[in-house]
């Protein structure tokens, strides 16, 4: 059998690699047209206040509907966009689309947008954010940019300066996926954030509940001493939600509270009304 012959196994492996590389290249080439072909869209996932169950805001999550392959998850195409530099125009499209959308919302909830490391080290980022806020008219206090530790890790000196410039715009910054990076505590020590988001892996089906509770307590203590709220990500069960409530965790996000959905679905659920018929300006408040 082929498997018992190391040489054949190597050949087989390399043939598979070629195929994978070809697929990735083809996908990267397709991504180039995704904006102009209207294949990108944003879904919005609700972020709630644990103690009251009320809505704090929504996180924008990018979706790509490939004309032949269908929905491709961000974990697959964001790395491609980063390698090719396409993340810069795509990231600008995301920010612009999310802000243009959120400015029509009633009530005026917050909107969280994820930033890639490649965007974050781009010197034009603060100017781009300022331009988008000016063009869309969104109040900067309503915008939150989500960064992961790996985003910041690349170049700490530059990151400090970048964060300073972004916070000067009155836009807030959340530390996303907290607890999974190389130096979570050092990151908290060196940078100023407005919010900590505990990574959803702590709430996975395999995570032991006593350990999870211990970690939540520790992160909540950190949040308290920094004077910033903590949001738990990936909340899927009532047990998790009531544990968060008992521990005093301020905010939560997860499938239990709402899946990422189109803005029309949010309107339909009655979570928001649109002030002027949405970004395309179709008319009066949407009451469907």
- Binding of residue 30 to ligand C2E (CB under 6 A): no
Q: Which does 30 bind (CB under 5 to 8 A by kind): ligand C2E, Mg ion, none?
A: none
For position 74 contacting ligand C2E by CB under 6 A, the verdict is: yes
Closest-CA residue to 31 (of 100, 99, 94, 80): 80
How far apart are the C-alpha atoms of 223 and 248, rounded to whole Å? 11
Cis peptide before 107 (omega within 30 of 0): yes
Residues 90-129 that bind ligand C2E (CB under 6 A): 94, 114-116
Instruction: For residue 145, give Cα distances in angstroms to 90, 113, 234.
Output: 15, 5, 18
Residues numbered 239-268 forming contacts with ligand C2E, rule: CB under 6 A: 253-255, 260
Total of residues contacting ligand C2E (CB under 6 A) = 22
Per CB under 6 A, does 152 bind ligand C2E?
A: no
Does residue 61 touch ligand C2E according to CB under 6 A?
yes
Which residues, numbered 96-115, are part of the site for Mg ion (CB under 5 A)? Answer: 114
198 binds, among ligand C2E, Mg ion, none (CB under 5 to 8 A by kind): none
Helices (H), the chain: 6-31, 74-84, 87-102, 117-120, 125-136, 149-153, 156-168, 184-190, 209-226, 238-247, 263-268
Cα–Cα nearest to 133, from 110, 163, 99? 99
Q: Is 176 in the site for ligand C2E (CB under 6 A)?
A: yes
Q: Does 76 bind ligand C2E (CB under 6 A)?
A: no
Q: What part of residues 133-192 is at the interface with Mg ion (CB under 5 A)?
A: 146, 176-177
Give the interface with ligand C2E as residue ranges (CB under 6 A). Answer: 45, 61-62, 73-75, 78, 94, 114-116, 146, 176-177, 200, 234-236, 253-255, 260
């Amino acid at each position: 059998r082929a498997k018992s012959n190391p040489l054949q196994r190597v050949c087989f492996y390399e043939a598979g690699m070629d195929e994978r590389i070809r697929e990735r290249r083809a996908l990267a080439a397709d991504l180039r047209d995704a904006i102009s072909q209207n294949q990108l869209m944003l879904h919005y996932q609700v972020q709630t206040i644990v103690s009251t169950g009320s809505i704090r805001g929504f996180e924008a999550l990018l979706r790509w509907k490939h004309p032949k392959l269908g929905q491709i998850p961000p974990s697959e195409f964001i790395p491609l966009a980063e390698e090719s530099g396409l993340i810069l125009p795509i990231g600008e499209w995301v920010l612009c689309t999310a802000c243009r959308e959120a400015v029509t919302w009633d009530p005026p909830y917050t909107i969280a947008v994820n930033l890639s490391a490649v965007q974050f080290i781009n010197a034009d980022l603060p100017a781009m954010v300022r331009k988008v806020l000016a063009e869309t008219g969104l109040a900067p206090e309503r915008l939150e940019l989500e960064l992961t530790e790996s985003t910041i890790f690349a170049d700490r000196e530059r990151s400090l300066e970048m964060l300073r410039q972004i916070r000067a715009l009155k836009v807030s910054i959340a530390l996303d996926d907290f607890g999974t990076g190389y130096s979570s505590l050092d990151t908290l020590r060196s940078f100023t954030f407005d919010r900590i988001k505990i990574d959803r892996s702590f709430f996975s089906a395999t995570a032991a509940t006593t350990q999870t509770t211990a970690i939540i307590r520790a992160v909540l203590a950190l949040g308290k001493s920094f004077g910033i709220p903590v949001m738990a990500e990936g909340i899927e069960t009532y047990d998790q939600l009531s544990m968060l409530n008992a521990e005093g965790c301020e905010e939560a996000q997860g499938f239990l509270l709402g899946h990422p959905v189109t803005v029309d679905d949010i309107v339909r659920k009655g979570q928001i009304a649109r002030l002027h018929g949405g970004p395309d300006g179709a008319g009066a408040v949407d009451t469907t």
